């Protein structure tokens, strides 16, 4: 990728700033990366999940922090283009200059106003927020039952929230632009929100406004699968970045026991490198296959009228989650374990990749692995959802 060297060179400064530079933001705008999912009628490219997954792998191979920040700001045009009606999309997307961080947790209760909603509250981990023009989030519906809460899915322009300077203190992903935001009497019109809508379980069994509007099956899908596949693409790219550094060490460092030789000539290092490359490539293949499956499920509804179900979405997400875990386990067991302690020094690229991938592995999505297994089985056997 043409930007890879530039991304590699700026990893440290991106981490220090807590998000990528204005110059890199302009590069992404020129390249059209933010427009990948935006519908064509609103100035986007309307490319599907396989293209987006490949883009994220390549960006993360240069800088996982930058890829995370850019990728999760550009990711949510897919949901808005799918679920919101034409009037909303026209105003939200405008001419295509659109980016939106998003978190599934609610900011707090929403308040009805004449002609819209008032939003108050704070949300953390809003990855991609530094360059976001909007935020897609959840709030609690007013007078909701605490035992069975209902959610408001909303999109709010940048004018309605404030970004805090509170990111960068965790072990890794310090440059991922995951600052918190605060709503203080934020206002949005009624058509910028969908009532009783939970973003991780939007029923698309009867089609979607986006499918009808754009005539493109990609705007008829669900959200868990694409989001998890995006995370998986990011860690696969990060693992490749670590392997690229490992290759430099193979070319320049000697073995640590006689007969001393370049590591690339040593049978053990050859095996360790080959094992890591094979496993990362396997994770990448799973990511791209899951992306293809998602697109096929969208197309199946159009061709056969078979609904894109919650179980379908969970299965795609489970594949992506296994790829995340495979990439992390390869990083720690094959790359980090054999790279040598000198590669673990503060500021070394391998040290940064280890910290970043460890954060990928601790993401809440990965913690849902066992729950997702159960959910998939319960759907298969017709049991009530947890």
* Domains, the chain, ordered by start: 4-80 (1.10.540.10), 97-205 (2.40.110.10), 222-380 (1.20.140.10)
Cα 123 vs. chain centroid, distance in angstroms?
A: 17
Q: For position 370, what pLDDT does the model report?
A: 96
CB atoms within 10 A of CB 378: 15
Q: Where are the alpha helices (DSSP H) in 63-185?
A: 64-74, 77-83, 86-93
Q: What pLDDT score does 384 carry? A: 93
- pLDDT of 159-215, one tens digit each? 999 999 999 999 999 999 999 999 999 999 999 999 999 999 999 999 999 999 999
Handedness of CA 5, 6, 8, 9 (dihedral sign): positive
Long-range contact set of residues 374-383: C-beta below 8 Å, sequence gap at least 24: 375/314, 376/311, 376/314, 376/315, 376/318, 379/309, 379/310, 379/311, 379/314, 380/311
The pLDDT tens digits for 75-98 are 999 999 999 999 999 999 999 999
Q: Exposure of 165 by Cβ count < 10 A (0-12 exposed, 13-18 middle, 19+ buried)?
A: exposed
The rounded distance, in Å, linking the Cα atoms of 67 and 80 is: 21
For the stretch 300-329, pLDDT in tens is 999 999 999 999 999 999 999 999 999 999
**Average pLDDT of the chain to the nearest whole number:** 97
| Position 268 pLDDT exceeds 80 | yes
Q: What is the DSSP letter of 182?
A: E
- Helix/strand/coil percentages in the chain, nearest 5: 55, 15, 30
Residue 164 Ramachandran class (φ > 0 left, ψ -120 to 50 alpha, else beta):
beta
Q: How far is CA 142 from the centre of its chain?
A: 30
| Predicted local distance difference test score (pLDDT) of residue 1 | 66
Residue 241 has pLDDT above 70, yes or no: yes
Q: Are strands 193-194 and 151-157 parallel, antiparallel or unpaired?
A: antiparallel
pLDDT band at 23 (very low <50, low <70, confident <90, very high): very high
pLDDT at 367 over 90: yes
Going by pLDDT thresholds of 50, 70 and 90, the confidence category of residue 386 is confident
How many degrees, rounded to 5, is the angle at CA 26 between CA 94 and CA 216?
A: 40
Residue in this structure with the two tokens 């969908």, named with its chain if needed: 194
pLDDT over 80 (residue 147) = no
pTM for the structure as a whole: 0.97
Q: How many Å from the N-terminal Cα to the C-terminal Cα in the chain?
A: 43
Mark 187-206 as b/e (b = at least 16 C-beta within 10 Å).
bbeebbbbeebbbeebebee
Residue 277 φ/ψ, nearest 5 degrees: -60, -45
Query: Is the distance from CB of 74 to CB of 99 less than 8 angstroms?
Result: yes
pLDDT band at 226 (very low <50, low <70, confident <90, very high): very high
Backbone angles phi, psi at 358, to 5 degrees: -65, -35
Query: And the tokens for 256?
Result: 């640590």
Residues 188 and 94: their CA atoms lie apart, in Å, by 16
What average pLDDT does range 218-239 have in this prediction?
Answer: 98
Binning pLDDT at 50, 70 and 90, where does residue 143 land? confident
**118: which strand partners?**
111, 187
- Is the CB of residue 141 less than 8 Å from the CB of residue 171? no
Residue with structure tokens 């669900």?
222
Judge whether 155 and 45 are in contact, CB under 8 Å. no
% of the chain surpassing 90 pLDDT: 97
* Amino acid 2: pLDDT: 81
pLDDT in the model for residue 162: 98
């Amino acid at each position: 990728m043409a930007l890879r060297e530039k991304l590699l060179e700026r990893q440290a400064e991106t981490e220090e700033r807590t998000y990528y530079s204005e110059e890199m933001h302009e590069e992404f705008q020129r390249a059209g990366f933010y427009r990948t999912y935006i519908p064509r009628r609103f100035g986007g490219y309307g490319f599907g999940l396989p293209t987006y997954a490949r883009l994220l792998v390549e960006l993360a191979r240069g800088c996982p922090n930058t890829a995370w920040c850019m990728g999760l700001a550009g990711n949510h045009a897919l949901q808005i283009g799918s679920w919101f009606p034409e009037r909303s999309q026209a105003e939200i997307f405008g001419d295509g200059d659109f980016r939106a961080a998003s978190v599934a947790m609610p900011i707090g209760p929403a308040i009805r106003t004449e002609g819209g909603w008032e939003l108050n509250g704070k949300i953390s981990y809003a990855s991609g927020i530094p360059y976001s023009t909007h935020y897609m989030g959840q709030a609690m519906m007013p007078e909701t039952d605490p035992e069975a809460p209902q959610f408001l899915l909303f999109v709010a322009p940048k004018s309605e929230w404030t970004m805090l300077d509170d990111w960068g203190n965790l072990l890794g992903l310090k440059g991922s632009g995951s600052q918190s935001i605060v709503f203080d009497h934020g206002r949005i019109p009624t058509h910028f929100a969908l009532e009783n809508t939970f973003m991780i379980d939007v029923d698309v069994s009867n089609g979607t406004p986006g499918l009808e509007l754009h005539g493109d099956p990609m705007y008829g899908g669900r959200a868990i699968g694409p989001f998890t596949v995006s995370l998986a693409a990011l860690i696969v790219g990060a693992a490749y970045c670590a392997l690229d550094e490992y290759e430099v060490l193979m070319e320049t460092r000697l073995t640590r026991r006689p007969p001393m030789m370049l590591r690339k000539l040593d049978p053990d290092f050859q095996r360790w490198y080959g094992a890591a490359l094979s496993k990362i490539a396997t994770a990448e293949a799973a990511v791209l296959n899951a992306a293809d499956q998602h697109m096929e499920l969208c197309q199946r509804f159009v061709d056969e009228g078979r609904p894109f179900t919650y179980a379908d979405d969970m299965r795609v997400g489970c594949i992506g989650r296994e790829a995340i875990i495979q990439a992390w386990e390869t990083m720690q067991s094959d790359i980090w374990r054999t790279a040598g302690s000198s590669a673990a020094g503060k500021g070394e690229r391998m040290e940064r990749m280890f910290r970043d991938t460890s954060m990928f592995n601790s993401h809440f999505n990965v913690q849902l692995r066992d729950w997702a297994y159960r959910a998939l089985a319960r759907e298969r056997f017709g049991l009530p959802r947890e």
